[in-house]
Amino acid sequence: MTDSAVIEIRDLVKTFGSFRALDGLDLSVAPGEVHGFLGPNGAGKSTTIRVLLGLLRKDSGDVRLLGGDPWADAATLHRRLAYVPGDVSLWPNLSGGETLDLLIRMRGADPRTSRRDEMVERFALDPTKRGRAYSKGNRQKVALVAAFATDPDLFILDEPTSGLDPLMERVFNDCVAEQTARGATVLLSSHILSEVERLADRVTIIREGRVVETGTLASLRHLQRTRLVAGLSGAVPDLSGRSGVHDVAVDGAQLTCTVDADALPGVLADLTAAGITSLTSSPPSLEELFLDAYRDRAGAGR
Amino acid sequence: MSTTAGWRLLLGLALRRDRVLTGVWIAVLVMMSVASAAATPSLYAAQADRVHAAEALNASPAIVALYGPVLDVTSEGELAMTKMTVLYAVFVAVLFVVVVRRHTRVEEESGRTELVGGTAVGRNAPLAAVAVETVLLALALGVLTALGNTASGLPLAGSVAFGGLWAGTGLVAAGIAAVTAQISASARTCAGFAAGAIGVLFVLRAAGDTGPEWLSWLSPLGWNTQVGAYAATRWWLLAAYPVLALALGAVAVALRARRDLGSGLVAARPGPASGSPRLADAFTLALRTSGTTLVLWMAAAGVMGVVFGMIAPGIGDLLDSQTAQSIIDELGGELVAAILSIVAVVLTYFAATVVAHTSRDETDGRAELVLATGTSRSAWFGATLLVALAGTALLLVMTGLGLWIGYVAADGPGIGNLLVAALAWVPAAWVVGALAVLSLAWGTRWTVLAWVWPAAFMVLALMGDLLELPTWVIDLSPYTHVPAVPSEPWSWGSATTLSAVAAVLLLVAWWRFRERDIH
């Protein structure tokens, strides 16, 4: 945690009535990094972002955004950031182009000197349609174009690619890469985990308003298992009782299982002894990391 | 699959969603009718008193323009139902417009119809379901009103006829709403068309009742009087309401077949590819989103002003030719004051629509989009209250100008500045508008109160005496503190006090809006 952090949250608490949406949350985002912000639905991702945007008032804790107070200095700070919500709602009778220009102007930029037209083209957006006529994906594109058209210091993206097709997701990834190359900081909340995996430098996983894990992707891999699919020529060994081995399934001569890192040498030795005809291993996906974090906490709480 | 498949499911859903809204609304209407029926015998004990009162009502064109004439001056029921027959029937009509619009165009605009349309539900199922719902509501309203009036001592036959004409008004209003719901893709514009149609029918009847009678027969609201529930009842006329309602329903179905889901009758033109440089902040955005509504309301207010302005001097004709100029002036002034007391309340609803719009911006997430830019909460909030309150004032100015133009066009004698008469209502409208803004500031779930305040204050003003409420309760309504200009002189005291109250309410609202969570 550095003093120059773009986002610095310590022990943040936010309650709605008796419900503790955020229960002592910590988050630190360094300048220039893409920070993945993960958690199941209702974990408090959007609540955290809304506190950061000064939309919600914190109950306690310290929150600093771009060196300022997100509640007191909201409008000033917002000129230096771009926000894309996960579910974009547009004015029904404003055209997409009007909405784009309005949002860009409201951030204090001029759409005519921005990359607006370039982004409209890259995201293949028809700006002449009225807000009520856009599909979910197209509404999302309006917010994304408005965000990437300018060069803010910070992007706050709350599940920004929901509703986008894979082609547009690639455009989105390119845009994020261009912005970080320029030195921008990105807070990327998502449960489309492959997207975070590709873009994020560091990840914070939260659940029930608290941080479960935080660190670089590499540092989180210790948690993880390897998924093995092996074709065997000899007798299939019985791995189901062994410690560190999970989800064993046998289908004829094919064995599928997930293995903890420390149990891997033993399992591989047994498989070799049984005569391997084919072997595939998948690296831990963030999805599984995430499930682990979730499962462990659920187990500990019981 | 039949085009109405699944309507039963939708009906169940609608009845469940509407149970509070329709329950309260119908209860208030029935209560008003029962209170009027019960209060009349104590107000006018002797037959002679009643005849005298009824003749006095009929002699005042202002009252006739607002309430319609009393057809049989000897009938207790006709006198008791003077305000109910036409004016309160408008509130019946509004309920049915709200219900129909809520289950047709609002659902379509929100995309929920699409969700439902993807299931085994036919194209016309929403219309069919809401048609059945409105028939059920009309039946409930009619039967309860008839029972209530009978229980209050009015004759059974007349009460049945009266319940029937209220129910009929509701059905016709539902038909009008079903047609207007097809016209535009915007639920708000559709509401504007429906309100405009009801306004035209009201004005048509007012003109007919104070002038050529055939005009009243063109308006279902005019039928309300002509049925003569407690006079020589024209039972056959009660059949005209469902016939008209069915015809309107058929038009709605035909129009629905000619358009796509989510669109209006006119295909949406492509919008501009880029925004005007002037559309750059919360205020210009509020103007852009509420501008069309404001222009429509301004046109309606102006036209209504002209019509009533033209009626005002004509009432002198009804009087004996020897009548002094001053009395004509006074009657004209009385009409203007009486009309304005209703119009001011109706125009306050413009503020409610602006507040409701901002509230939906917040619940839908558009406020979040704006407040995440350099736009401050104060700017966002200020834009809403500025458009709401300045818009309401502008509407009253339009009404005043219309009255003036109509009055001059009809060669009315000078009754002073009618613009001032309209402006006298501005501070009261601001207080009620400020209450609407305060409701939003407190939280979006309170915004519904924006619709309640004007109606509650009008009921208080119109019914307070009848219900024998204490003066201080009646005085809670800002509208009771407005001098009846031009019959009474303009009062700086009332204008300043009401404006100060509005200012305090707005300050509290601003403080609250800056402090609270935006969801």
pLDDT in tens, B181-223: 998 877 878 888 898 899 889 989 988 988 888 999 999 999 9
Residue B519 has pLDDT above 90, yes or no: no
Q: Which residue has the higher pLDDT, A182 or B311?
A: A182
**Integer Cα distance of B93 and B174 in angstroms:** 7
Residue ranges of the alpha helices (H) in B152-213? 156-183, 187-210
pLDDT of residue B10: 86
**Integer Cα distance of B9 and A12 in angstroms:** 45
pLDDT of residue A285: 60
Of B289, B373, B519, the CB nearest to A106: B373
Residue B512 has pLDDT above 90, yes or no: yes
pLDDT of residue B474: 84
Element (H, E) at A226: strand A225-232
Residue B318 has pLDDT above 70, yes or no: no
pLDDT of residue A300: 44
At B517, is the pLDDT very low, low, confident or very high (cuts 50, 70, 90)? Answer: very high
Minimum CA–CA partner of A79 in chain B: B374
**Cβ contacts (< 8 Å) between A105 and chain B: which residues?**
275, 277, 279-281
Tell me the shortest Cα–Cα distance from B372 to chain A, in angstroms: 6
Of A91, A106, A108, the CB nearest to B289: A91
Minimum CA–CA partner of A102 in chain B: B280
Of A93, A97, A105, the CB nearest to B280: A105
Is A95 exposed, middle or buried, given 0-12, 13-18 or 19+ CB atoms closer than 10 A? buried
pLDDT of residue B142: 96
pLDDT of residue B296: 87
Over the stretch B352-393, which tens digit does the pLDDT of each residue have? Answer: 999 999 999 999 999 999 999 999 999 999 999 999 999 999
**Cβ contacts (< 8 Å) between A106 and chain B: which residues?**
280-281, 370, 373-375
Q: Using alpha carbons only, what angle is made at residue A249 by residues A247 and A252, rounded to the nearest 5 degrees? A: 170
At B167, is the pLDDT very low, low, confident or very high (cuts 50, 70, 90)? Answer: very high
Over the stretch A15-55, which tens digit does the pLDDT of each residue have? Answer: 998 999 999 999 999 999 999 998 878 889 999 999 999 99
Residue ranges of the alpha helices (H) in chain A? 45-52, 74-78, 96-106, 116-122, 136-148, 166-181, 193-199, 217-220, 264-273, 286-301
Q: pTM of the predicted model, to two decimals?
A: 0.81
Minimum CA–CA partner of A83 in chain B: B372
Does the distance separating the beta carbons of B372 and A83 come in below 8 Å?
yes
Of B271, B374, B519, the CB nearest to A98: B271
Q: How far from each other are the two terminal CA atoms of chain B, in whole angstroms? A: 41
Does the distance separating the beta carbons of B281 and A53 come in below 8 Å?
no
Q: What is the mean pLDDT of each run of 10 residues along chain A (302 residues)?
A: 78 93 94 91 90 94 94 93 93 92 93 93 93 89 95 94 88 94 94 76 89 82 75 86 83 86 86 89 66 57 36
Q: Which of B174, B159, B133 is nearest to B76 (CA)?
A: B159
Tokens linked to B127: 């219309």
**Which residues in A have their CB inside 8 Å of a CB on B?**
50, 53-57, 74-76, 78-79, 81, 83, 85, 87-103, 105-108, 111, 127-130, 132-133, 143, 156
Does the distance separating the beta carbons of A133 and B375 come in below 8 Å?
no
Return left, alpha or beta for B504; rule: phi > 0 is left, psi -120 to 50 is alpha, else beta.
alpha
**Contact predicate B139/B24, CB 8 Å:** no
pLDDT of residue A151: 93
Mutate to test the interface with A, among B274, B293, B295, B377 (most CBs of A within 10 A): B274
Does the distance separating the beta carbons of B280 and A106 come in below 8 Å?
yes
**Integer Cα distance of A22 and A299 in angstroms:** 20
Query: For residue B345, what are the CA distances in angstroms to A166, A242, B342, B429?
Result: 54, 79, 5, 7
Q: Which of A219, A109, A244 is nearest to B277 (CA)?
A: A109
Query: For residue B185, what are the CA distances in angstroms to B105, B110, B118, B189?
Result: 7, 11, 20, 8
Q: Does B360 touch chain A (CB under 8 A)?
A: no
**Cβ contacts (< 8 Å) between A91 and chain B: which residues?**
285, 289, 361, 366
Considering only B41-45, B95-99, B411-415, which range has the smallest mean pLDDT?
A: B411-415
Mutate to test the interface with A, among B263, B279, B361, B368 (most CBs of A within 10 A): B368
Over the stretch B145-160, which tens digit does the pLDDT of each residue have? Answer: 999 999 998 999 999 9
Tokens linked to A246: 């999970």
At B330, is the pLDDT very low, low, confident or very high (cuts 50, 70, 90)? Answer: low
pLDDT of residue B400: 92
* One-character DSSP codes across B360-406: HHHHHTHHHHHHTTT--HHHHHHHHHHHHHHHHHHHHHHHHHHHHHH
Q: With H, G, I as helix, E, B as strand and everything else as coil, classify residue B216.
A: helix
Tell me the shortest Cα–Cα distance from A74 to chain B, in angstroms: 7
User: Mean pLDDT over all residues of chain B?
Assistant: 87
**Cβ contacts (< 8 Å) between B368 and chain A: which residues?**
50, 53, 55, 85
Over the stretch B422-469, which tens digit does the pLDDT of each residue have? Answer: 999 999 999 999 999 999 999 999 998 998 899 888 888 777 777 778
Q: Which residue has the higher pLDDT, A8 or B59?
A: A8
